[in-house]
Amino acid sequence: MRDYGYQDISLETAGLPWYKIWWKAIVPEGQAYEIIAADPGASVGKACLWVFLTSMVCNGIIILLMGALFGFMALPAISEFDKSTIENIGLISVTLACLLPIVFGLMGVVILLLMSGLSHAIAGLLGGTGTFTKLAYAFGAYMAPLMIVSTAITFIPVANYMGFLIGIYGLVLNIMAVKAVHQLDWGRSIASSAVIWVGLMGCMACVILVVLIIAGPSIGNVFSGAIDYLATPTPAW
């Protein structure tokens, strides 16, 4: 067996439930990520399941609450529609409420795998000795609980401004995971994570730009039509 430098602490995570592993990841103390990396039960599938479920549930809650708020605000306008139109709106709303959380869950898994793969490749070029499985497991262990925290503060008027700080904290945890799994020093760990995050942000910016270019006119027409409809006074009969 190849020696990655942390098999001697593998017993500390043997049999630990998922919530204790999450706690170690999000509140790291001592060799927390070395312990997580040494977990004999570490697997990519488990990490993907964590991220998929948390992303699906958290985004599902946000979608339902936002949908309920929008529906309440739009209720006077919707009540003017005929029965078939209202039924179609309800069917579309239910379909989106069911499908969008799954889509967001799958997107979370894609982001996890992409981050893990790129981080593993770059860390390997910088002399890292870890494995993709252990890195993905460590990433999933902090991404899942951090997503729950981010969702929880979204609906707190004052705390929702902490989203930026949570993002920075997530970057710190990312660096700690790379350092522990790949047995790198702080400098190379920071360099590896920085390259990944800059690349991901650049890719996201490109995707958003393409979507806005393609769908921008259609989205504008929809909002313009909705605003015109709501602004038109209802005739009194």
* Residue 5 domain-assigned (yes or no): no
Which pLDDT value is given to residue 9? 53
Q: What are phi and psi of 112, to 5 degrees?
A: -60, -50
* Residue 214 domain-assigned (yes or no): yes
Token output for 155:
């609906």
* Residue 3 domain-assigned (yes or no): no
Which pLDDT value is given to residue 237? 46
Which pLDDT value is given to residue 11? 47
Q: Answer for the pair 54, 26: CB distance below 8 angstroms, yes or no.
A: no
* Residue 118 domain-assigned (yes or no): yes
| Residue 141 neighbours by CB distance under 10 Å | 29
Q: What is the pLDDT of residues 73-86, one digit of tens each?
A: 555 555 555 556 55
Closest CA to 152 of 26, 62, 39, 214: 62
* Residue 154 domain-assigned (yes or no): yes
Domain that holds residue 14: 10-231
Report CA torsion sign: 167, 170, 174, 179. Answer: positive
| Residue 176 neighbours by CB distance under 10 Å | 20
Q: Answer for the pair 78, 86: CB distance below 8 angstroms, yes or no.
A: yes
* Residue 1 domain-assigned (yes or no): no
Which pLDDT value is given to residue 204? 65
Q: What is the pLDDT of residues 124-146, one digit of tens each?
A: 888 888 899 999 999 999 999 99
pLDDT-derived band at 154 (thresholds 50, 70, 90) equals confident
Q: What is the pLDDT of residues 96-123, one digit of tens each?
A: 667 888 988 999 999 999 889 989 999 9
* Residue 236 domain-assigned (yes or no): no
Token output for 70:
């929008």
Report how far residue 70's alpha carbon sits from residue 115's, in angstroms, rounded to the nearest whole number: 34
Q: Into how many domains does the chain fold? A: 1
Question: Is 2 strand, coil or helix?
Answer: coil
* Residue 4 domain-assigned (yes or no): no
